[in-house]
Amino acid sequence: MMVTMMLRATLFALAFICASAFEFVSQSFKGNFKFNYSDPSVPVPTTSTLEFGVDMESVKFRTNQHLVLAQPHMNITTSTKASMIVDVKAKRATFYHDLEINASIPIPTPPAACKYFEFPDLPAPAVVSKCLQDVAALAKPMSSEDGLQKFQIQIPLPQLPDPAEEVVYTDESFIMKKLVADENVPGPHPMTVHVEMTDMDSKAGAPDSSVFVVPAEWGTCTKDTMPPIPTINNPVMKAFLHCMGMVASQASVVV
């Protein structure tokens, strides 16, 4: 669960990074998700929000996700809260996950967990910031729409053969206003997933520094071992891993 969460959070981080394209900016975003499944039998969350804050000067970012999923035919409702804080100077990424289950019969629920990964080879914040600008250059500008700039990028997701198709909408100051993602989910009953996330009131500027401090309510955070880095030919993900000090060189990036 922690690994999947990390990759999913990285997806949104990359979406923001690529939205900047020519310039990095700090910002705060709090948006609602809208899900559309090609299979109508798949339940849609009743609550689905994501917020993130980015400080490009110190190179820190945080994401908070909240999903509530009701399954009336099973009389079960689940509430999932997941957060991530990345601090480049501290060379650490901290993850928090809390799952609550309400059902007609008692169902064991795993306790809330806080874990962190360390990146000993992570360069200094200024170096990482410059490297991320190179990642941003891989985004493909598209024609503007409704007064917003558009950028397209493909991001690989765990256990999916095809990358997610991302379209990021920003204002003229490169503040993200909307993200649209399309995914193809294989399996016995393959389907497509369309996701939209919007915050037209997103704000420029770095959040207060307290946003990037691990909250006391997360409890004791334990160190976890980084999983093996999968072989990825996607140029954006490879470049991002290079910036995070997780691959030796960008020489292996396939364009």
Residue matched to tokens 């910002």: 27
What's the predicted TM-score (pTM) here?
A: 0.80
Averaged over 5-9, what is the pLDDT? 48
170: amino acid identity, one letter: T
Q: With b meaning 16 or more CB within 10 Å and e meaning fewer, what string describes 161-177?
A: eebbebbbbbeeebbbb
Averaged over 24-47, what is the pLDDT? 89
Confidence of residue 165 (pLDDT cuts 50, 70, 90): confident
Strands (E), 131-232: 140-145, 148-155, 164-170, 176-185, 191-198, 203-204, 222-223
Number of H-type helices and E-type strands within the chain? 3, 13
pLDDT: which is higher, 93 or 234: 93
Contacts of 159 (CB under 8 A, 6+ apart): none
Residues 105-152: pLDDT tens digits?
Answer: 888 889 999 999 998 888 899 988 888 777 777 778 888 898 999 988
Vertex 50 angle, CA 44 and 55, to 5° = 165
208: amino acid identity, one letter: D
Between the CA of residue 202 and those of 28, 95, 206, what are the distances in Å?
A: 6, 24, 12
- Residue 189, Cβ neighbours under 10 Å: how many? 10
**HSE, side-chain direction, 13 A CA sphere, residue 99:** 14
- 3-state SS class at 68: strand
| Chain-centre distance for alpha carbon 20 | 15
Domain count across the chain: 1
pLDDT: which is higher, 239 or 64: 64
Vertex 67 angle, CA 186 and 35, to 5° = 50
Confidence of residue 162 (pLDDT cuts 50, 70, 90): low
Residues 215-242: pLDDT tens digits?
Answer: 999 999 999 987 776 666 666 667 777 7
**If you count them, how many residues does the chain have?**
255
164: amino acid identity, one letter: A
Averaged over 80-106, what is the pLDDT? 94
Determine which helix (DSSP H) or strand (DSSP E) holds 93, and give its type and residue range: strand 92-103
Between the CA of residue 227 and those of 3, 13, 240, what are the distances in Å?
A: 8, 19, 16
Q: What's the domain range around 17?
A: 2-252
Q: Which pLDDT score is estimated for 239?
A: 72
**Strand 113-118 versus strand 47-55 pairing type:** unpaired
